Structure 1
Amino acid sequence: MPSTTTNKANSTRPYYQGDVDFDVLAAQDPDFSALCQRSKNKRWIDFQDPEVVQQLTRSLLKVDFGLKIQLPDDRLCPPVPVRWNYVRWIQELLDTTSEEYSETYDQDRDVVGLDIGVGASCIYPLLACSSRPEWRMAGTDIDPYSSEYARRNVEANALSKQVRLVMSKSDAALVPVDAMKVEELDFLMTNPPFYDSHEDMQESYVGKDAPSSAVCTGAENEMICPGGDVGFVTRILEESLQLRERVQWYTAMLGKMSSLQQIVAKLKENGISNYAVTCLQAGHRTKRWAVAWSYRDYRPRNDVARHGDLVHAVLPLPTAQSIAVPLMSAAWAGNKVDGVLSKLEVKWMWRGRSATGVMEARENVWSRAARRKKQFDSPDVPGSRGSKVKEDEQEPATVGLAVKIYCKEEVVELRWLKGQDHVLFQSLCGLLKRALTGRD
């Protein structure tokens, strides 16, 4: 399956899944075709040639996204597939964690993001803002030389109204929301230096049977920083503990699985349970990972929160559960679910035609203990101390749990939309499972 497409600037363009099809790309771009070589009727390129690697990046941006960039010879040349996969993942994070509980791209949502370390290419703001014209991004960098190239690339693509570039200092805050004079951000992203030192960088190649997949032209500040990628992202984590909900999603790319494991451990140490992870692999050459965390309680869709090839130890809590209902129709299951939830003191929005509904609850009102308390508090019970909940008071002021329920043939699917308590989500799943199947 070719990795290129003629649908440029597509707001929902899919992830790159496999290696770039050089035959398809060469047919679409003569500049790339001129640098390809042939062997046994198959095109290939020399990934150790800086000119060829740069042309591959320029051609993919041109063909797949309608973008053009200028790159210096002594700064990083970004591989497009992994970079786009990172942007696409952030799009899905935002699409599945909105106040409207939507699962799709909302063209009316005004999104503001930050790229920490834009580099000379400025590739992340270019990809993000060209694919979603209503998005705006700020980009920071500590290197004046790279920043000048980034500015040229923004202007060359007529994105100056959407992308704002800011010079930073190595000892300044990495997330400068106050300096930017913004109250909050929808997301931040960063592709930090992976290595702690020159020795660390050299050791990364020890034991490998082949040289690196592509020549590296990165400057020292792009490749090395104190603590490497873990140290850099830890700085962002520490700042996020102060900023908290002022950024909906803090995200970062990481160079090694071990780095991802260390950052996930730090999130758990700080009591952050709403996080997501992904493997950004595109083809067989480059594998990277990314992590995102949020202090808000909107939960991403399960395939977004646990995206790609990952080890079990880094996975966040699941945000979906399925209940098998053998031999039962969607209509039967829907009537059963509607009957159960309509009797509870929750906000229940049921759409019978599509057999879907959304439930919001302040707290657990379905357990035995909750039912006993309700009975004790009822004014109809002699000696009780409560009063009936009025119809217009059923909408919860504070949502402790929001769940979307899909009733299908032989299965009911529950999607955790909002809340900090996974046990509460599991408890509701248990209630419906007992009602649908008669089993715990």
Structure 2
Amino acid sequence: MPPSSTTKSTERSYYDGDVDFDELAAKDADFAAICKVSKDKRWVDFQDPNVHRQLTKSLLKCHFGLTIELPNDRLCPPVPVRWNYIHWIQGLLDTTSDTYTDRYDPSREVLGLDIGVGASCIYPLLACANRPEWRMAGTDIDQHSLDYARKNVTANGLEQRIRLKLSETTEAPLIPLDAMRVEEMDFVMTNPPFYSSGEDMQASYTGKSAPPSAVCTGAENEMICPGGDVGFITRILDESLKLRGRVQWYTAMLGKMSSLQTIISKLKEHGITNFAVTCLQAGYRTKRWAVAWSFRGYRPRNDVARHGELVLGVLPTANAQTIKVQGISKEVVGRKIDELAKELDVKWQWRDHMGMGVMEVKENVWSRAARRKKKFADQGNGGGVPKPEMEKGESSGEDEEAVGLAVKIMCKDEEVELRWLRGLDYVLFESFCGLIKRALVGGR
């Protein structure tokens, strides 16, 4: 029975290892029927397309309550890496909300776009099956794939939350917000063709010690496009430079580390500093990467922005700093931070029982020049006016441009963590961290 459009499945974490075939076979007789057993070890023949399709169907059925139909002549998507991509996007959105809570908000409505849904429609299905307030749009240039995708949406009772559209020309915008009559969107995702030509695809296998881990059933338009994954994602980047904050997160999967490095370089060339990267590896062989960027100021939590096994050159600026405060109790540290923040011209909320505070400010107000300017202003208006405080658990509600920096300060045993919540200026964040460090350990 297909899942209800309002039923939330159990939240699952990343796939971080190979699929447990014994566990899956115990849950699904169809999967058990295609398994082979040798020396008491269950295994499957990944070079058999029927086996590959059954594994995908069984994982979706047992782990997500989804049912799909897959044509023989289109790509059969491995589930683990696809789920890891969706789960990472969940983390991006959960840790970049205007509530600054860093956790999943079941009431938050989310709208996403999958560019190239394919016959399986796997990304919209996974996104909506797991989060009941999420809605998805999907596009594809292949009518045959779109026909199957629509069948899969209907089979799972998600017609009201997943809308699919044919991209009639390859020159049409990849992110057709205006054509869809959508003003803003929470995220865009794509799993583009990795290769620029048949020769490029063949060359990717040359020299490897082992053959591809699974048979490829993908059609040419699913595997090859001009410029490969870099060319496709560059088109999305170019469109994002025009759309900017109309989409909170632009994301894309890549097939090679070199492709990821190229895209990161392009982001930096355009001055895009708020980006995140992940390695989506789910087993011992398959390794994919994803990148996300945003023109808005909300910063993802550090473990989301720099997730998985990555090389130093692709990492974004750290969104957190830790100050060691050995020999000082959490209560004393918290009191010092609270007193310091109250002296500054900032919006400040302190929760003493949690040892945690959130600060918002438009600009640097802690430099000597800024403090001197405030002192003169206060003297001129009779001593100044009380500073407003934020509502519990919420940001100040000011527009994006008005908040130059937001930081969450958390007092822990023998250390203080400063979490960069919002802002596009790293120098401003670093300056504030320096202020707190001097107040806590300066002169010791």
- Return the TM-score normalized by structure 2: 0.94
Where structure 2 has 5 or more consecutive residues not aligned to the other structure, the ranges are 1-6, 391-395
Q: What whole-Å deviation, never above 9, does each CA across 1:86-109 have from its counterpart, x for those lacking one?
A: 000000000000011121111111
Q: Shift of the alpha carbon at 1:302?
A: 0.5
Given the alignment of the two structures, is residue 400 of structure 1 paired with residue 395 of structure 2, yes or no? Answer: no
Q: Which residue of 2 aligns with 1:140?
A: 139
Q: Which residue of 2 aligns with 1:93?
A: 92
- Could you say what the CA RMSD is over the residues aligned between the two structures, in angstroms? 1.6
Q: What whole-Å deviation, never above 9, does each CA across 1:384-411 have from its counterpart, x for those lacking one?
A: xx87542256888511110011111111
> What amino acid is aligned across from residue 317 of structure 1 in structure 2?
T
- Is 1:330–1:410's contact at 8 Å kept on the other side of the alignment? yes
Where structure 1 has 5 or more consecutive residues not aligned to the other structure, the ranges are 1-7, 381-385
Q: Shift of the alpha carbon at 1:333?
A: 1.2
- Is 1:12–1:105's contact at 8 Å kept on the other side of the alignment? no
Q: What whole-Å deviation, never above 9, does each CA across 1:268-299 have from its counterpart, x for those lacking one?
A: 00010000000000011210000000000000
Distance 1:389 1:198, change over 3 A: farther
| Inter-partner Cα distance in structure 2 for 1:128 and 1:38 | 34
Given the alignment of the two structures, is residue 292 of structure 1 paired with residue 292 of structure 2, yes or no? Answer: yes
Q: What whole-Å deviation, never above 9, does each CA across 1:230-266 have from its counterpart, x for those lacking one?
A: 0000000000100001000000000000000000000
- Is 2:320–2:417's contact at 8 Å kept on the other side of the alignment? yes
Q: Which residue of 1 aligns with 2:3?
A: none
Give secondary structure in 1 for the equivalent of 2:407: strand
| Percent of residue pairs bearing the same amino acid type | 67
Q: Which residue of 2 aligns with 1:196?
A: 196
Q: Shift of the alpha carbon at 1:14?
A: 0.4
Distance 1:189 1:11, change over 3 A: farther
Q: What whole-Å deviation, never above 9, does each CA across 1:194-222 have from its counterpart, x for those lacking one?
A: 00000000000011011001000000000
Aligned length: 428
Q: Shift of the alpha carbon at 1:367?
A: 1.6
- Is 1:345–1:394's contact at 8 Å kept on the other side of the alignment? no
> What amino acid is aligned across from residue 403 of structure 2 in structure 1?
V
Q: Which residue of 1 aligns with 2:279?
A: 279
- Is 1:9–1:66's contact at 8 Å kept on the other side of the alignment? no
| Inter-partner Cα distance in structure 2 for 1:15 and 1:360 | 33
2:385 to 387, 390, 409: 390
Q: Shift of the alpha carbon at 1:437?
A: 1.1
Within 5 Å, give how 1:164-183 maps onto structure 2: 164-168=163-167, 169-183=169-183
- Is 2:350–2:357's contact at 8 Å kept on the other side of the alignment? yes
| Inter-partner Cα distance in structure 1 for 2:11 and 2:351 | 27
Within 5 Å, give how 1:26-425 maps onto structure 2: 26-168=25-167, 169-379=169-379, 389-391=384-386, 398-425=402-429
Give secondary structure in 1 for the equivalent of 2:379: coil
Distance 1:57 1:324, change over 3 A: same
Give secondary structure in 2 for the equivalent of 1:416: strand
| Inter-partner Cα distance in structure 2 for 1:28 and 1:275 | 39
Give secondary structure in 1 for the equivalent of 2:34: coil
> What amino acid is aligned across from residue 333 of structure 1 in structure 2?
V
Q: What whole-Å deviation, never above 9, does each CA across 1:19-53 have from its counterpart, x for those lacking one?
A: 00111111111111111111221111111010101
Distance 1:11 1:41, change over 3 A: closer
| Inter-partner Cα distance in structure 2 for 1:425 and 1:346 | 14
- Is 2:69–2:152's contact at 8 Å kept on the other side of the alignment? yes
- Is 1:25–1:32's contact at 8 Å kept on the other side of the alignment? yes
| Inter-partner Cα distance in structure 2 for 1:42 and 1:434 | 59
Give secondary structure in 2 for the equivalent of 1:87: helix
> What amino acid is aligned across from residue 369 of structure 1 in structure 2?
A
> What amino acid is aligned across from residue 390 of structure 1 in structure 2?
V
- Is 1:9–1:64's contact at 8 Å kept on the other side of the alignment? no
Q: What whole-Å deviation, never above 9, does each CA across 1:145-180 have from its counterpart, x for those lacking one?
A: 000000000000000010000000211100000000
| Inter-partner Cα distance in structure 1 for 2:143 and 2:325 | 61
Q: What whole-Å deviation, never above 9, does each CA across 1:36-82 have from its counterpart, x for those lacking one?
A: 11122111111101010101000000000000100011100000000
Q: Shift of the alpha carbon at 1:375?
A: 3.4
Q: Which residue of 1 aligns with 2:4?
A: none
Q: Shift of the alpha carbon at 1:328?
A: 2.2
| Inter-partner Cα distance in structure 1 for 2:159 and 2:178 | 22
- Is 1:361–1:400's contact at 8 Å kept on the other side of the alignment? yes
| Inter-partner Cα distance in structure 1 for 2:296 and 2:383 | 32
Q: What whole-Å deviation, never above 9, does each CA across 1:124-157 have from its counterpart, x for those lacking one?
A: 0000001001110000000000000000000000
- Is 1:433–1:439's contact at 8 Å kept on the other side of the alignment? no
Q: Which residue of 2 aligns with 1:427?
A: 431
Q: Shift of the alpha carbon at 1:426?
A: 0.8
> What amino acid is aligned across from residue 427 of structure 1 in structure 2?
S
Give secondary structure in 2 for the equivalent of 1:379: helix
Distance 1:439 1:258, change over 3 A: farther
Q: Shift of the alpha carbon at 1:327?
A: 2.3
Q: Which residue of 2 aligns with 1:15?
A: 14
- Return the TM-score normalized by structure 1: 0.95
Q: Which residue of 1 aligns with 2:24?
A: 25
Give secondary structure in 2 for the equivalent of 1:300: coil
> What amino acid is aligned across from residue 434 of structure 2 in structure 1?
G
> What amino acid is aligned across from residue 115 of structure 2 in structure 1?
I
